[in-house]
Amino acid sequence: MDTDILKKRISFAGKLTKFFYNYFNSKLDLKKLQETYKADKGRITRLDLTDINVSIHFRLKNGKFEILKNVNKPDNIILAPSDMYFSLFEKEHDAIIQEMMTRWRFGEISFFGETAMADFKLFIKAIKDLKDSLPKIKQEAVLQSA
């Protein structure tokens, strides 16, 4: 990948993560989400954006979406291309589900961990439940907000 494009993508990944951090913590009832899905263990997920070599660690804990640094052993690992991370939330909830399932079937995203397949299924259910609360964002909006 061209160095300038790589730098821009890495920069955008950071801005998008910051956007998600602000949006999830201000607009979503994460406490209710945690209760609904019994996601109360504070389990840590590492998202590896494989094409730009960026890793993001996050978790839901005490009703907050947290971004973490210096995590040695995440509970789950997701391997995904950055374009999916960038574009996923431009879509309606059913299109998000379809894209994630399709990319998983075709090996473009992968999930690893003790309960990764069960967690992926729960994530899909959560997207269904959150259908009206999910951000439908354009990349320009993320850049402007950052």
Residues forming contacts to another protein in the complex (CB under 8 A) are 37-38, 101, 104-107, 110-112, 114-119, 121-122, 125
Closer Cβ to another protein, 4 or 114, answer by number = 114
Helix-, strand-, coil-residue percentages of the chain, each rounded to 5 = 50, 20, 30
The sign of the CA dihedral 77, 110, 108, 18 is negative
Provide, rounded to whole angstroms, the least separation between the CB of residue 115 and another protein: 4
DSSP H helical ranges for 28-138: 30-36, 82-87, 93-105, 116-129
Provide, rounded to whole angstroms, the least separation between the CB of residue 61 and another protein: 17
Packing angle of the helix pair 93-105, 116-129 (nearest 10 deg): 160
Residue 65 near residue 58 (C-beta atoms within 8 A)? yes
Closer Cβ to another protein, 27 or 125, answer by number = 125
Tokens 């950052």 sit on residue: 146
Provide, rounded to whole angstroms, the least separation between the CB of residue 113 and another protein: 8
Closer Cβ to another protein, 38 or 73, answer by number = 38
Closer Cβ to another protein, 41 or 138, answer by number = 41
Closer Cβ to another protein, 37 or 86, answer by number = 37
Provide, rounded to whole angstroms, the least separation between the CB of residue 10 and another protein: 25
Provide, rounded to whole angstroms, the least separation between the CB of residue 14 and another protein: 27
- 57 CB-contact burial (10 Å; exposed 0-12 / middle 13-18 / buried 19+): middle
